[in-house]
Amino acid sequence: MPSMLVIATTAVPDHLRGALSRWTIEVVPGIFVGTVSARVREELWDAAAAVVGDGAAVLIHPAATEQGYEIRTAGTRRRTPMDFDGLVLMRMAAATHQPKTVNELQSPF
């Protein structure tokens, strides 16, 4: 039975966006929404996870969980789903900022 899914992408190859748009609609840049079967959903996610590279992708779809949905992630990301006794929460990793050097802080004028 078909069910709704949402796939959010960041910095992924254009060919992935094209493949996703064959089965879903891109409502805003990088956010794909559609109603597909479980088999199509798995094939789309496998394709996305295989080519996401340095980008990021998140899949949200209905599931028999306490929250009523499942979250999957692929690629580099600061947010990671964590299971806490059946409740999935998003864990935020610290940003990896490099301290600026004195030369970068000085004005070019």
- Nearest of 12, 71, 21, 20 to residue 43 by alpha carbon: 20
Residue 41's CB is within 10 A of a number of other CB atoms, namely 20
pTM higher than 0.85 for the full model? Answer: no
Condensed to tens digits (0 to 9), the pLDDT of residues 73-93 reads: 998 877 889 999 889 999 988
pLDDT of residue 108: 57
User: What's the distance, Cα to Cα, between the start and end of the chain in Å?
Assistant: 64
Residue 22's CB is within 10 A of a number of other CB atoms, namely 8
